[in-house]
Amino acid sequence: MLENNTKQQIAFVVMAATRSVFRNLRMQPLSSAVTTQRRFLNLHEYQALEIFAKHGVNIPKIAVVKHIEELDSVADQFDGDVVVKSQVLAGGRGLGHFKENGFKGGVHVTNSREQLKNCAENMLGKTLITKQTGEAGKPNNFLMLAEKFTIKDEKYFAILMDRGAGGPIMIGSKVGGTSIEDIAEADPSAIIKVPVDIMKGLSKETALDMVTKMGWSGDQASQAADCVMGLYDTFISCDCTMVEINPLAELDDGRVLVCDAKVGFDDNAFFRQQEIFDQRDITQEDPRDVEAAKWDLNYIGLDGSVACMVNGAGLAMATMDLLNHCGGSPANFLDVGGSAEVGQIKAAFEIVENDPNVKSVLINIFGGIMRCDVVAEGVVQASQQLGVTKPIVIRLVGTNVDEGKKIIKDSGLAVYPEDDLNKAANLAVKLAAEA
């Protein structure tokens, strides 16, 4: 069975691919901004905080260290203790450890320049392993330095699009610093929901009403309302899919500010948000996914041994399930779509060939919109030019299937043609086991 987060990733790609198919059926011209399928952009903590600050949200004093030589000059900006935080796109950083040296923790409070330097040297440029990264870990190319402060009270706040409300909805709680799911389970009445009319926008009165329900009062309520106004402006202006603040905190010095955040951006709007999307850190992503995105391939890398190349998101999911049923495991989700060209087929093969986990390849093409001869030509070119060594099982059905089969046969390639999908899947699993 696939992990839940993997299912969610695949579900998003399936929806994106389906939207693309329907657009093609309507014969609407598509710009590259629309046809390129991407997952929701995820930014580092310091990047999100900098965006918030531009929209008037109160954030802690922060600075970024990209090279160890910068540490002293950056640290001079702070008085007193300094918090040093690793910047990787994964949760559980504080409880993580670094692969190269075993250094414990991706978040530390330092009270001297010597301690700060020691932490930075052990963290910067190293690979952080957390519960969310797996044993491979993620490269920590940046450190965020932040002022140390004491939290007096903390709340939960978020904005997201809600289908039922027909627009943005604000979600808050008097309790923060812990999972919102845990809060809701313990006391459903603790969750406050306030929809916002997207045409009218968010008024200061509504923001004040929201934070008052969350337990703020006096000057802190005014500060919290200003933060909420800024967060809503960020949400709308930056085409966000979600803004989650946990906690939105009152400090012992009376300030109210955002202490930690998760922000998602709508990839369909990246042509409007070029400055934000230019901050994408591809070192945090699977290299296979990055390469697939260059060729507009709907791809998600998995950890199995049988690579799949299928047209149609639904057929791709069914093919993956069939491989599991036959005792194998898929190495990827790969939907080449209904308008793939020879170059894209070749690019897909290159990704598969360079994956050391892949032991065999199953190509399952239904020639509806996609033509079987185009796939066959791509398979032949890729095999000849890349020197593909992994066994290939190919099933072609539909438009131009006879032409496709002839191209494969005339190529002289050592492939395994099979018309029956069940037999094709069993053969691919068998070849992977024997490799």
More confident residue, 287 or 128: 128
Structure tokens at 382: 């890729």
What's the pLDDT score for residue 188?
A: 86
| pLDDT bracket for residue 285 (50, 70, 90) | confident
Interatomic CA distance for residues 320 and 301, integer angstroms = 12
| pLDDT bracket for residue 354 (50, 70, 90) | confident
What's the pLDDT score for residue 31?
A: 31
| Residues with a known catalytic role | 156, 244
The 10s digit of each residue's pLDDT in 106-120 is 999 999 999 999 999
By residue count, the chain amounts to: 435
Q: pTM above 0.75?
A: no
- Closest C-alpha among 101, 87, 84 to residue 45: 87
The 10s digit of each residue's pLDDT in 260-280 is 888 889 888 989 999 999 998
CA distances from 306 to 10, 108, 208, 314, 334 (A): 17, 42, 55, 18, 12
SS3 content of the chain, % helix, strand, coil (to 5): 40, 25, 35
Q: What percent of the chain has pLDDT over 90?
A: 56
More confident residue, 293 or 89: 89
Q: How do 256-258 and 261-265 pair as beta strands? A: unpaired
For residues 408 and 345, the answer to whether their CB atoms sit within 8 Å is no
Q: How do 82-86 and 107-110 pair as beta strands? A: antiparallel
What's the pLDDT score for residue 339?
A: 59
* Domains present along the chain, CATH in parentheses: 4-38+283-434 (3.40.50.261), 61-147 (3.30.1490.20), 150-265 (3.30.470.20)
Mean pLDDT is lowest, of 68-82, 200-214, 375-389, for: 375-389
What's the pLDDT score for residue 40?
A: 63
Kind and range of the H or E element at 396? Answer: strand 392-398
Phi-psi region of 111 (alpha: psi -120 to 50; beta: other; left: phi over 0): alpha
Structure tokens at 216: 């703020």
Q: With the CA atoms of 205, 207, 210 and 214 taken in that order, what torsion angle do they form, in degrees rounded to the nearest 10?
A: -120
Kind and range of the H or E element at 9? Answer: helix 4-25
What's the pLDDT score for residue 16?
A: 45
Interatomic CA distance for residues 158 and 166, integer angstroms = 16
- Closest C-alpha among 287, 427, 285 to residue 359: 427
